[in-house]
Chain A
Amino acid sequence: MRNSVLTIALAAITLSYSCAQDIENKVDTPTNPPYTAQLLIDEMQSPWGLVFLSANELLITDKSGELIHFENGKKTVVKNTPEVYTRGQGGLLDIELHPDYENTGWIYISYASEEGEEKGGHTALMRCKLNNNTLTNKELLYKATPNTTKGQHFGSRIEFDNDGYLYLSIGERGARDENPQDITRDGGKIYRFYDDGGIPEDNPFVGKEGAKTAIYSYGHRNPQGLAKHPETGEIWDNEHGPKGGDEINVIKAGANYGWPLVTYGVNYSGTPITDKTEMEGMTQPIHYWVPSIAPSGMAFVTTDNYKGWKGSILVGSLKFQYMERLQMEGTKVVKREKLMTDLGRVRDIKEGPDGLIYVAVEGKGIYKLVPKA
């Protein structure tokens, strides 16, 4: 009897482990990837976000504060850009267009800002228009508070969903025990707005006393990838864990992603943060990386331009300096590939209007992946 109980217990343990993701998930390096990387825009210090105004016209943010307008092979520095707080990971961050840009002309920019009373900075979101290489009609839509001189975790990516809602990620600003689990504080959250910065009435914490009602989900560490799933329309993120425990999450209204109460990572020193990787009421990632790759940027491949890539997710690795392709079956990662190795820190990835992939690499510029015939 005792033996059979033991056997059942052992079987249960084995089964639960075999269902879980491999701890040291393995990554392949293909010898003949289906593209040639062509440096389209060179000499950029720290390109952070990019967006296509039309097929051959891009806006690229540089963390240093410069906004670059690239047209007909020429770079122009855009004037009247927001004043940015360049410290640590802060600076000029992401850029996105209104879903109906052609008619509205709205451009959305996230950046680290000193606006406010306290010393330091926090993430801000603005919208504006572009006229004669100058930003006009500038409107501040959100500014997280309070400022802090910490250098970490500003986020921040911008994405629209199919219903026109605007999502913004803000990292926990190096205050993991104060911010991510507290919905009355900014940081460690994903926010949802109307396109004019107004707060949707059905946001999950509207009516909760003291809550920051722009919050859509919480318990995040530092999401620097945000993308709309091309089929389901859901918003997915990727976020930096500490040492180990980077994650991909499917963002749900009101969900708590657990940081720092549950994580697959440890402190940089190797000491534990918590022994828990899951807890009731906290949403599990669909994928986690151990060791950390330091993910930034996220794009779904929607075309057959690159053989076998359709439906994959592309993510930049800051730490190991490559682009990762995650082949998906629904929400399950079935294969990982290491691409664009040894060029530099891969910061952002976009699928262009031509269906080709464009990759921002720090210290280099923007690469275009030309499909091999």
Chain B
Amino acid sequence: MKSYYSSLIFLIFIGCFGQAQESVLAESMQRGSEIYSDFCVTCHLEEGEGIIGTFPPLAKSDYLAQNREASIRGVKYGLQGEITVNGVTYNNIMTPLGLEDDEIADVMNYIMNSWGNFSDKTVTIEEVEAIEK
């Protein structure tokens, strides 16, 4: 009986922890959506669809799914040169956006969990801080 209660408490604890994690992500995504509509939407558009051949899509982007670190680095320091996204080659420039590390984490969480994208690992400020040019 005692062990039953302790397992129950344990399960409740895990449940709360999971929910807390979820709300951390939800709040980060909420802030990220504001950053997105300020800094990103003019090129990558409302649904992350981009303009084929010119501005790469973020929605269901294989580049984003497979190059987490390079994607964060691109947002942090800018990105120039050739990349291939969903089979299309892009050779363009994204100038450095001037975002703070916490803003980068938020906007990455928004992008990586919107429009059919899913990431099982939340981007943290520490992760952004650690990424060098």
Where the two chains meet, the residues of A that have a C-beta atom closer than 8 Å to any C-beta of B are 45-46, 63-64, 85-88, 90-91, 150-152, 174, 268-270, 294, 319-321, 344-345, 362-363
Write the nearest CB–CB distance from B128 to chain A, whole angstroms: 16
**Which secondary structure dominates where chain B touches chain A?**
mixed
**6 A-B pairs in the complex with CB atoms less than 8 angstroms apart:** A45-B95, A64-B95, A88-B38, A151-B39, A151-B98, A268-B42
A-B contacts besides A87-B98, A88-B39, 12 pairs, CB < 8 Å: A45-B80, A45-B95, A46-B95, A64-B95, A88-B98, A90-B98, A151-B38, A151-B97, A152-B38, A268-B45, A269-B46, A319-B51
Chain A residues, Cβ within 8 Å of B93: 45-46, 344-345, 362-363
Question: B12 at the A/B interface (Cβ < 8 Å)?
Answer: no
CB nearest neighbor in B for A150: B38
Q: Give Cα distance in the complex from A268 to B43, angstroms.
A: 11
Write the nearest CB–CB distance from A102 to chain B, whole angstroms: 34
Chain A residues, Cβ within 8 Å of B43: 319
With A45-B80, A363-B80: A294-B42 Cβ-Cβ less than 8 Å: yes
Q: Give Cα distance in the complex from A151 to B100, angstroms.
A: 12
CB nearest neighbor in B for A87: B98
Q: Which of B82-105 contact A (CB under 8 A)?
A: 92-93, 95-99
Residue B54 contacts which of A86, A88, A152, A320 (CB distance < 8 angstroms)? A320
CB nearest neighbor in B for A361: B93
* Contact across chains for A268 and B41 when beta carbons are under 8 A apart: yes
**Which secondary structure dominates where chain A touches chain B?**
loop
Question: B119 at the A/B interface (Cβ < 8 Å)?
Answer: no
Which of B54, B95, B99 is most buried by chain A, counting CB atoms within 10 A of its CB?
Answer: B95
* Contact across chains for B54 and A321 when beta carbons are under 8 A apart: yes
Q: Give Cα distance in the complex from A64 to B95, angstroms.
A: 8
Chain B contact-residue range equals 10 to 19
Residue A87 contacts which of B51, B92, B97 (CB distance < 8 angstroms)? B97
CB nearest neighbor in A for B54: A321
Question: B19 at the A/B interface (Cβ < 8 Å)?
Answer: no
Question: B7 at the A/B interface (Cβ < 8 Å)?
Answer: no
Write the nearest CB–CB distance from A235 to chain B, whole angstroms: 26
Chain A residues, Cβ within 8 Å of B96: 64, 86
Question: B23 at the A/B interface (Cβ < 8 Å)?
Answer: no
Question: B37 at the A/B interface (Cβ < 8 Å)?
Answer: yes
* Contact across chains for B95 and A268 when beta carbons are under 8 A apart: no
Write the nearest CB–CB distance from B43 to chain A, whole angstroms: 8
Chain B residues, Cβ within 8 Å of A91: 95
Q: Give Cα distance in the complex from A1 to B39, angstroms.
A: 58
With A88-B39, A151-B38, A174-B38: A270-B97 Cβ-Cβ less than 8 Å: no
Chain A residues, Cβ within 8 Å of B37: 268
Q: Give Cα distance in the complex from A86 to B97, angstroms.
A: 7
Write the nearest CB–CB distance from A260 to chain B, whole angstroms: 15
CB nearest neighbor in B for A63: B95
Chain A residues, Cβ within 8 Å of B46: 268-270
Write the nearest CB–CB distance from B51 to chain A, whole angstroms: 7
Write the nearest CB–CB distance from A121 to chain B, whole angstroms: 9
Chain B residues, Cβ within 8 Å of A63: 95
Which 8 residue pairs of A and B lie closest in terms of their CB atoms, listed nearest first?
A: A87-B98, A363-B93, A151-B39, A268-B46, A86-B98, A46-B95, A151-B38, A268-B41
Q: Give Cα distance in the complex from A362 to B54, angstroms.
A: 13
Chain B residues, Cβ within 8 Å of A268: 37, 41-42, 45-46
Chain A residues, Cβ within 8 Å of B42: 268, 294, 319
* Contact across chains for A88 and B97 when beta carbons are under 8 A apart: yes
Q: Give Cα distance in the complex from A344 to B94, angstroms.
A: 11
Q: Give Cα distance in the complex from A321 to B51, angstroms.
A: 11
CB nearest neighbor in A for B99: A87
